[in-house]
């Protein structure tokens, strides 16, 4: 996509963020991962309204322990609360439980739930299926031990963005197939779903100031082990059967390389009679290490997340409809 066209499609509020974005130096991955982590630590801010602590749990058999970063209302009082398990973004390559700290704080403050952010293993040091196995181990632990951290295990949602959105979708498939604990809601946000990365929207976004086609190719190349069969737990679009999955709330920017694969996945979920609601917004851009559309610059996005979380809190089963992100008509 021509840079002039790209800029014309970006919300004017976000152009300054776009211009200031350094992009992702994935050609020097090791040094980029270190600098990215240092930035994440610098951007972490405390909030008196939220109590935050970390806990180590057993990982998958033969694997290292898994770190959980737990957020809860400081004035939570007695009783168990619903929980959102969160998986950070980073193209399967970088990021940590600190990466979307601000977003986790917002979930707790605006909805009054517990958020459990999961530190899954990253590539290229660990290939698929390491991250999804870490995610499943955390879900099983939370289902069995939720009460020990004040969580109602019957009201667990799973959510994440970018690579974490892909893990969210894959986790829903894995726990269904293994007859494990079933979340009441899944919120895969602008998810990495298709290892082929060959859709129109993937190829259209070429600016390296944002996540683009080249970065997607690198992310999938480093994540998948050469010669190993690729499964739906690595790339959820490969799932032949999408029935019996938890209801979905999702959103994505309309100028996002992941747009096409997400919309196609939503449509397939609907055909499988899974309740789905989406909210498409402006281009996802970085601001202080967090994607701008998740920072609620677009109020409709945050209202959508709040709606989904309140549905979880009240344990409602809402019938969702999918809307086209361009014309906002029901599909």
The CATH number of the domain where 153 resides is what? 3.40.50.1820
Instruction: Say if residue 137's pLDDT is above 70.
Output: yes
| Residues 245-268, mean pLDDT to the nearest whole number | 88
How do 151-162 and 81-87 pair as beta strands? parallel
- Check whether 66 has a pLDDT greater than 90: yes
66-73, strands of its sheet edge to edge: 50-57, 66-73, 114-119, 81-87, 151-162, 185-191, 248-253, 276-281
- Residue 108's domain comprises 3-313
What's the pLDDT at 308? 58
The pLDDT > 70 percentage for the chain reads 84
Q: Is 134 helix (H, G, I), strand (E, B) or coil?
A: helix
Distance of CA 194 to the CA centre of its chain: 15
In-domain check, residue 324: no
Give a yes or no: residue 327 inside a domain. Answer: no
Going by the DSSP 8-state scheme, the letter that residue 323 receives in this structure is B
Is pLDDT of 328 > 70?
no
pLDDT at 11: 72
Q: Which residues contact 304 (CB under 8 A, 6 or more apart)?
A: 249, 251, 277, 279
Q: 18-27, 59-68, 292-301, 306-315: lowest mean pLDDT where?
A: 292-301
- The pLDDT score that the predictor gives to residue 297 is 32
Q: 187 has which bridge partners?
A: 159
Mutual angle of helices 101-111 and 29-43, in 10-degree steps: 40
The answer to whether residue 326 sits within a structural domain is no
Looking at per-residue pLDDT, the higher value among 289 and 56 belongs to 56
Say what the alpha-carbon torsion angle 131, 134, 120, 275 is, to the nearest 10 degrees: 70
Mean pLDDT of 219-224: 98
* Interior/surface letters 313-328, b for 16+ CB within 10 angstroms, e for the rest: beeeeeebebbebeee
Mean pLDDT (whole number) for 156-177: 96
Q: How far is it, in rounded angstroms, from Cα 176 to Cα 286?
A: 34
Q: Tell me how far apart the alpha carbons of residues 125 and 313 are, in angstroms, rounded to a whole number.
A: 37
What number of residues does the chain have?
Answer: 331
pLDDT at 306: 61
Quickly list H helices, 209-298: 213-223, 259-271
For residue 32, pLDDT over 70 is answered with: yes
Round to whole Å and give the CA distance between 158 and 13.
Answer: 30
Strand partners, 20: none
The pLDDT score that the predictor gives to residue 68 is 98
- On whether the CB atoms of residues 131 and 64 are closer than 8 A, the answer is no
Query: What's the domain count of the chain?
Result: 1
| Eight-class DSSP state of 284 | -
Confidence of residue 319 (pLDDT cuts 50, 70, 90): very low
**Would residue 10 count as lying in a domain?**
yes
Helical (H) or strand (E) element with 151: strand 151-162
Report residue 280's pLDDT band, with 50, 70 and 90 as the boundaries.
low
Q: What is the pLDDT of residue 140?
A: 98
- Tally of CA atoms within 13 A in the half-sphere of 36 that contains its CB: 25
| Cβ atoms 206, 214 nearer than 8 A | yes
- 52 with 70: CB under 8 angstroms? yes
- Is residue 307 pLDDT above 70, yes or no? no
The answer, yes or no, to whether residue 38 has pLDDT greater than 90, is yes
pLDDT number for residue 313 = 58
**Do 37 and 51 contact (CB within 8 A), yes or no?**
no
d(CA 15, CA 309): 30
pLDDT at 323: 40
- In this prediction, residues 257-264 reach a mean pLDDT of 92
**Residue 290: CB partners within 8 Å, gap ≥ 6?**
43, 99, 100, 102, 103
For residue 296, which phi and psi values (nearest 5 degrees)?
70, 25
pLDDT value at 139 more than 50 = yes
């Amino acid at each position: 996509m021509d840079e002039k066209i790209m800029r014309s499609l970006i919300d004017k509020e976000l152009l300054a963020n776009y211009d200031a974005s350094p992009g992702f130096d994935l050609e020097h991955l090791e040094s980029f991962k270190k600098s990215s982590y240092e930035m994440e630590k610098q951007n972490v801010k405390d909030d008196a309204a939220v109590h935050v602590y970390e806990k180590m749990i057993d990982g998958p058999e033969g694997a290292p322990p898994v770190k959980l970063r737990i957020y809860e209302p400081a004035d939570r009082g007695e009783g168990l609360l619903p929980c959102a398990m969160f998986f950070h973004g980073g193209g399967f390559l970088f990021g940590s439980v600190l990466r979307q700290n601000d977003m986790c704080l917002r979930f707790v403050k605006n909805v009054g739930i517990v958020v459990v952010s999961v530190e899954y293993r990253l590539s290229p040091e660990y290939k698929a299926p390491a991250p999804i196995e870490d995610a499943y181990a955390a879900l099983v632990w939370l289902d069995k031990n939720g009460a020990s951290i004040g969580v109602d295990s019957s009201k667990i949602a799973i959510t994440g963005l970018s690579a974490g959105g892909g893990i969210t979708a894959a986790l829903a498939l894995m726990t269904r197939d293994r007859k494990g604990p079933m979340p009441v809601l899944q919120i895969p946000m602008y998810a990495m779903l298709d290892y082929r990365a060959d859709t129109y929207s993937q190829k259209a976004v070429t600016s390296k100031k944002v996540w683009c086609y080249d970065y997607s190719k690198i992310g999938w190349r480093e994540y998948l082990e050469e010669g190993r069969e690729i499964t739906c737990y690595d790339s959820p679009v490969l799932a032949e059967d999408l029935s019996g999955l938890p209801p979905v709330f999702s959103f994505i920017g309309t100028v996002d390389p992941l747009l096409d694969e997400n919309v196609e996945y939503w449509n397939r979920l609907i055909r499988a009679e899974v309740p789905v609601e989406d909210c498409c917004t402006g281009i996802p851009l970085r601001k202080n290490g967090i994607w701008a559309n998740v920072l609620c610059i677009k109020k409709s996005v945050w209202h959508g997340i709040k709606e989904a979380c309140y549905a979880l809190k009240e344990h409602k089963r809402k019938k969702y409809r999918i809307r086209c992100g361009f014309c906002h008509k029901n599909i």
